[in-house]
Amino acid sequence: MANSNHTSNINIIDELDVYHNIINTNNKCVIKFTGSGCPPCKQIQPIYEQCSINERYHNKVHFLEVDVDIGEEISDLEDISSLPTFVYYHNGQRINEYTICGAFSSKLIANLDALANRT
């Protein structure tokens, strides 16, 4: 199921087929892997939400979020071992050098800028 958060442009994903569909039909995606008991995940959430509604990324980057406890198939597929983890996709291909493990807002924003400007 994909749900949209009303205070942001983040789609909450918990089904593998929906995940595959979104990353394969959207040119540029960033996925935040999170967990309900993760303090760093909660710390960076407002920044992630602000980025999702920032004009700089509007119509350029698709923002997703996966709770690893609910979307276990997805987190297993992406080999998520720490939280939060941010995974970036361009044209259906994961960009491994952009992956961030941890709540590093400057890296998150730098990688979003790089992704948004990718051709």
12-60, pLDDT tens digit by residue?
999 999 999 999 999 999 999 999 999 999 999 999 999 999 999 999 9
The mean pLDDT of 67-78, rounded to a whole number, is 97
Measured CA distances, 44 to 14, 41, 90 (Å): 20, 6, 23
Q: Which domain holds residue 29?
A: 2-117
* The pLDDT value given to residue 8: 85
Based on its alpha-carbon atoms, the radius of gyration of the chain, rounded to whole angstroms, reads: 13
Q: pTM of the entire structure? A: 0.92
Average pLDDT over the chain reads: 94
What DSSP line would sit under 25-87, residue for residue? HSSEEEEEEE-TT-HHHHHHHHHHHHHHH-TTTTTT-EEEEEETTT-HHHHHHTT--SSSEEE
- Counted domains in the chain: 1
Measured CA distances, 40 to 84, 103, 115 (Å): 7, 6, 23
For the record, the structure tokens of 112 come out as 């979003």
Contact 13, 71 (CB under 8 A): yes
The helix-helix angle for 39-53 and 105-117 (nearest 10°) equals 30
80-99, pLDDT tens digit by residue?
999 999 999 999 999 999 99
Residue 1 has pLDDT above 70, yes or no: no
What CATH number should be reported for the domain holding residue 27? 3.40.30.10
| Active site residues per annotation | 38, 41
